[in-house]
Amino acid sequence: MSGSPSERVPEAAGARVVVNRLAGPVPSGVLAEPSRDPLQFHRRLGGYRPTPLLRTPALAERLGVGEVVVKCESQRFGLPAFKMLGASWATYRALVDHLGAEPGAWQTVTELSELVAPMRPFALATATDGNHGRAVARMARLLGFGARIFVPENTTPGRIAAIESEGASVEVVPGDYDAAVARAAEEAGPSCLVISDTSWPGYDRVPRWVVDGYSTLFWEIDDSLAAAGWRRPDAIAVPVGVGALVAATINHYCRVPDDRPAVVGVEPSTAACVTASAEAGRLVTVPGPHTSVMAGLNCGTPSPVVWPIVSAGVDAFVTIDDDWTCRAVRDLAAVGVEAGETGAAGLAGLQALRHIGVPPELDGAIRCDATVLVIMTEGASDPLQWRRILGVELLGQDPPLRGERAVAAARR
């Protein structure tokens, strides 16, 4: 569209590519300089270990690039998504802020829980499409706090049950994710901290800490690439909901203008609020209902606090219908990666991009010898739905299949 800040490339088969005309130097001072403090914190939480970084030649061949490297967040602290990284660090920072000082010296989360015991009864609250709320609920449980989690009305029973399994109370809010965010905000008080991954006027410190917490994922990638002797990525594909994760990606990789990978943000066609904002040249809300199977991306409004970073740092957006991500779920299972519907969106976006045609602006980054990094953010967070997508019959309530078993099951 001439005259608009973003330019459309023709639609094809339920997908659209939008080159971001707002892209430019990433402003400094909006987010904190990348630091390893969150990583040191995460190492003290029980069960920390870096998640795998996998080379997938079969996917690279199909995408027509040199390498596809997949960061696999199928399991993080025993939860099926990367979200605990942000929820845990933001909770800790918010607690320190609430107390006015560090709670004391601690080395394990049990010790931390003992230090904050005098605060009880105390609660954490948030809105969620599923993963963030489960992570906040887990953090609350580890600290001996209550958790009040607010979900939009179309949240699947499987996701609600998963949050409840952390001991949280779950309230279904009439309306969409934005309505759940507004409801959760009402919980803030002397004995309840709201740990939101999205911001609103007057509330942006916690969402910044959420972004900082995600940095662990990128330090791990850097360390894995260096250890394996693999090249730094030429392009990175990231699923986008409110934009916090892609902001963390940009903050980590794109601070040096001439030495940065291209960033591709992927959204569901039905909840493409960041793409719509890029096209409009300002923050806009996309009305619901947001019904994509990519539940983690069913957001109607970008997070204002990360918008200056996201609008400058994303090179192109790809919006996709659910079919694209379902296919990517199966493709990832076939190479041994358990990817949920939201988690597979990054790969799905690249596949759609290849199908539509890589725009000239990305030609240099997504070329035949490029290394492309796919941030695969989630495993089978709703096992029933995941198995349906794989076409696997349900045999009782056994745990989700992993790796090789997923491949075998998908082929059966």
Ligand X SMILES: Cc1ncc(COP(=O)(O)O)c(C=O)c1O
Closest CA to 164 of 138, 127, 125: 138
Say how far apart CA 286 and CA 301 lie, in whole Å.
7
Looking at the chain, how many residues does it have? 412
- Report whether 191 contacts 122 (CB < 8 A): yes
Q: Is 79 or 116 the residue whose CB approaches ligand X more closely?
A: 79
Helix (H, G, I), strand (E, B) or coil at 371: strand
Stretch that binds ligand X, among 21-29, 49-57, 58-66, 126-134 (CB under 6 A): 126-134
Q: Is 166 in the site for ligand X (CB under 6 A)?
A: no
R_g of the chain, CA atoms, integer Å: 20
- Report whether 295 contacts 129 (CB < 8 A): yes
Set 71, 83, 234, 321: catalytic member: 83
Which burial class, exposed, middle or buried, applies to 121 when counting CB atoms under 10 A from its CB (0-12, 13-18, 19+)?
exposed
> Between the CA of residue 404 and those of 176, 382, 409, 410, what are the distances in Å?
37, 19, 9, 10
CB of 377 to ligand X, least distance (A): 3
Active site residue 83: yes
Residues in region 190-209 near ligand X by CB under 6 A: 197
Binding-site member from 103, 152, 261, 296 for ligand X (CB under 6 A): 296
Binding-site member from 56, 131, 216, 385 for ligand X (CB under 6 A): 131
CB of 129 to ligand X, least distance (A): 5
Q: Is 143 or 246 the residue whose CB approaches ligand X more closely?
A: 246
Say how far apart CA 117 and CA 404 lie, in whole Å.
43
Closest CA to 34 of 254, 252, 209, 306: 252
Residues in region 335-364 near ligand X by CB under 6 A: 342-343
CB of 292 to ligand X, least distance (A): 12
Binding-site member from 178, 212, 378, 382 for ligand X (CB under 6 A): 378
Set 71, 129, 176, 382: catalytic member: 129
Q: Is 103 or 313 the residue whose CB approaches ligand X more closely?
A: 313
CB of 82 to ligand X, least distance (A): 7
* The token pair that represents 56 in the structure block: 């997938």
Q: Which residues of 141-168 are buried (b: 16+ CB within 10 A; e: fewer)?
A: bbbbbbbbbbbbebbbebbbebbeebeb
CB of 317 to ligand X, least distance (A): 12
Binding-site member from 83, 134, 138, 387 for ligand X (CB under 6 A): 83
CB of 297 to ligand X, least distance (A): 6
Residues in region 235-294 near ligand X by CB under 6 A: 239-246
Active site residue 71: no
Q: Is 241 or 313 the residue whose CB approaches ligand X more closely?
A: 241
E strand residue ranges, 33-183: 53-55, 67-72, 123-127, 146-152, 169-173
CB of 401 to ligand X, least distance (A): 18
* The token pair that represents 118 in the structure block: 């005098």
Q: Is 116 or 274 the residue whose CB approaches ligand X more closely?
A: 274
Binding-site member from 71, 132, 138, 290 for ligand X (CB under 6 A): 132
What are the φ and ψ backbone dihedral angles of 220, each rounded to 5 degrees? Answer: -65, -40
Stretch that binds ligand X, among 99-107, 125-133, 141-149, 321-329 (CB under 6 A): 125-133
Q: Is 103 or 340 the residue whose CB approaches ligand X more closely?
A: 340
Say how far apart CA 106 and CA 112 lie, in whole Å.
6
Which burial class, exposed, middle or buried, applies to 38 when counting CB atoms under 10 A from its CB (0-12, 13-18, 19+)?
buried
Say how far apart CA 248 and CA 221 lie, in whole Å.
13
The residues that touch ligand X, with contacts defined as CB under 6 A, are 81, 83, 129, 131-132, 197, 239-246, 296-297, 342-343, 377-378
User: Which residues are known catalytic residues?
Assistant: 83, 129
